[in-house]
């Protein structure tokens, strides 16, 4: 700062290099927030896709469904998933990552809400197919999006987060069931709410909070599981 600026208290003008560094920091922060949003979508989609696995026994008992019917309801998800995966990548190339990711998330949400409202076998069959289509679209678009933002490392992280969602969903449903009885409506409601939060807050600080919240819940759940395993081992 020269003497004239010191005397007047004025801030010296920014140099081009300083402005470039500021722009780079802002751009990097924007990419990080957007990447967190993409990961949040994948986590929520994985959760919504697979939490159903832990509900099968309770649904079968309450709706008096046989093992064959329950197996069909479970695997028919793939009938929607495969076309979603095939279409999602090309659609996101043509239409953009975000529109396809959000469309897939909304489709998965629609299927989840349908099953929340009714556990009739026909509704479950249709809901699982709809969820499969939505999950396929969202996975294809978000994985490509993560790769666009962070390269191969971003795609790898996206895959890991998606896998975590697949694992956490049924684990959380099991915890809900153990705490509230069958927990069918509660589990569908939680899955739907998580997808809604991610859709509404995609690419913003809200999605970062979702990731932090899920991470905290997962940490507590893992500690409870370890404590239960130690207790059972001690009893044996």
CATH number of residue 100's parent domain: 1.20.1250.20
Say if 29 falls within a structural domain. Answer: no
Say if 11 falls within a structural domain. Answer: no
Which pLDDT score, from 0 to 100, does residue 176 have?
86
Rounded Cα gap, residues 66 and 30, in angstroms = 50
Residue range 58-111, pLDDT digits in tens: 999 888 999 999 999 999 999 999 999 999 989 999 999 989 999 999 999 999
Residues near 144 by beta carbon (within 8 Å), at least 6 away in sequence: 89, 92, 93, 97
Say if 227 falls within a structural domain. Answer: yes
Residue range 127-182, pLDDT digits in tens: 999 999 999 999 999 999 999 999 999 999 999 999 999 999 999 988 888 777 77
Rounded Cα gap, residues 216 and 224, in angstroms = 12
Rounded Cα gap, residues 70 and 211, in angstroms = 32
| Domain span including residue 199 | 35-231
Identify the burial level of 184 via C-beta atoms within 10 angstroms of its C-beta, where 0-12 means exposed, 13-18 middle and 19 or more buried.
buried
Say if 196 falls within a structural domain. Answer: yes
* Mean pLDDT across the chain: 81
Angle value at C-alpha 164, between 201 and 227, nearest 5 degrees: 115
- Is the model's pLDDT at 17 over the cut of 90? no
Calculate mean pLDDT across residues 203-215: 50
Say if 96 falls within a structural domain. Answer: yes
- The reported pTM is 0.73
Say if 75 falls within a structural domain. Answer: yes
- End-to-end, the C-alpha distance of the chain in Å comes to 75
pLDDT top residue among 70 and 200: 70
Rounded Cα gap, residues 56 and 74, in angstroms = 8
Tally of domains within the chain: 1
Say if 17 falls within a structural domain. Answer: no
Q: Which residues of 155-165 are buried (b: 16+ CB within 10 A; e: fewer)?
A: bebbeebbebb
Say if 21 falls within a structural domain. Answer: no
Closest CA to 222 of 146, 183, 168: 168
Which pLDDT score, from 0 to 100, does residue 34 have?
86
Q: Which two tokens stand for residue 114?
A: 């349908």
């Amino acid at each position: 700062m020269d003497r004239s600026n010191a005397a007047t208290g004025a801030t010296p003008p920014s140099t081009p290099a300083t402005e470039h560094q500021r722009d780079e920091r802002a751009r990097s922060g924007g990419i990080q927030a957007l990447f967190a949003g993409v990961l949040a979508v994948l986590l929520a989609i994985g959760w919504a896709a697979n939490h159903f696995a832990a509900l099968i026994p309770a649904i079968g008992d309450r709706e008096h469904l046989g093992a064959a019917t329950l197996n069909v309801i479970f695997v028919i998800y793939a009938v929607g998933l495969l076309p979603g995966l095939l279409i999602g990548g090309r659609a996101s190339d043509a239409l953009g990552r975000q529109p396809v990711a959000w469309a897939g998330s909304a489709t998965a949400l629609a299927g989840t809400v349908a099953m929340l409202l009714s556990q009739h076998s026909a509704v479950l069959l249709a809901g699982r197919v709809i969820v499969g289509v939505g999950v396929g679209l969202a996975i294809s678009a978000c994985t490509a999006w993560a790769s666009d933002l962070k390269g191969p490392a971003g795609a790898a992280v996206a895959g890991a987060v998606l896998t975590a969602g697949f694992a956490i969903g049924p684990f959380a449903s099991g915890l809900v069931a153990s705490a509230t009885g069958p927990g069918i409506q509660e589990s569908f409601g939680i899955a739907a709410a998580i997808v809604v939060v991610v859709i509404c807050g995609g690419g913003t600080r809200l999605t970062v909070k979702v990731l932090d919240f899920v991470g905290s819940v997962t940490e507590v759940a893992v500690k409870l599981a370890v404590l239960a395993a130690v207790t059972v081992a001690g009893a044996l």
